[in-house]
Amino acid sequence: MSLTLYAHPFSSYCQKVLVALYENETPFAYRKLGPEDPEAGAEWARLWPMRKMPVLVDGETPVFESSVIIEHLGLFHPGTVRFLPADAQQALGVRMMDRFFDNYVMTPMQAIVFDHLRPADDRDPSGVARARDKLEDAYRWLDGALAGRHWSSGDDFSLADCAAAPSLFYADWVHEIDAALGNLRAYRARLLARPSFARAVQEARPFRKLFPPGAPDRD
């Protein structure tokens, strides 16, 4: 098998890539990172000293960063789902939405989660408040941008939706999307119903107890 993925099922950026792999039923060897398999962790560290998940190895070539991994899959292991449109201008729009979900949803969500991991006397309430404000801004913008769209960039599932699925999934756990933002809430529900993401969510279910703020009894 030419593809090997080093990842953890509960990681948002790993889920982003897993969604892409599951969309096209792309065969791969899954090296799950964790204390159960220290050798996988050692291999991962040798491949990528930055120790960021996920890492894809294609033959002898390691590929880093979730968005680049998904573009790599589209180029060298294409399937029926195309993660970027052939039209260059449309592809820019998809890439913009991908960066929006990573930078303006995933990043503030993770800031809130990471703060929960800090000792109680070393927490940053001001930083958490700023992260919540950023999520509010992102939610409002997305609710408007998604008006009339089925997926984040139009009618077709894309790279941007791979990013949106885990980012909105976890963001809503730490800072719930307001009921008034109907477009965004409906979009998140469509993502959860997508078989590729539903599979990733199910695979991660045993690890919910590890979510530092506490995983809600929903989804």
Angle, in degrees to the nearest 10, between helices 12-23 and 195-204 = 140
Question: Which residue is associated with the tokens 């408040």?
Answer: 129
Instruction: Express each pLDDT in 107-139 by its tens digit.
Output: 999 999 999 999 999 999 999 999 999 999 999
State phi, psi for 172 to the nearest 5 degrees. -65, -25
Is the sign of the CA dihedral 79, 156, 187, 181 positive or negative?
Answer: positive
Instruction: Express each pLDDT in 134-193 by its tens digit.
Output: 999 999 999 999 999 999 999 999 999 999 999 999 999 999 999 999 999 999 999 999
Q: With a cut of 80, say whether residue 1 has pLDDT above it.
A: no
Mean pLDDT of the chain: 97
Region 60-88: mean pLDDT is 97
Whole-angstrom distance, CA of residue 112 vs CA of residue 87 = 37
What pLDDT, on a 0 to 100 scale, did the predictor assign at position 156? 98
Whole-angstrom distance, CA of residue 87 vs CA of residue 89 = 6
Region 57-63: mean pLDDT is 97
Which helix (H) or strand (E) covers residue 169, if one does?
helix 159-174
Contacts of 212 (CB under 8 A, 6+ apart): 113, 114, 116, 117
SS3 category, 7: strand
pTM of this prediction? Answer: 0.97
Backbone dihedral region of 78: left (phi > 0), alpha (psi from -120 to 50 degrees) or beta?
beta
What pLDDT, on a 0 to 100 scale, did the predictor assign at position 2? 92
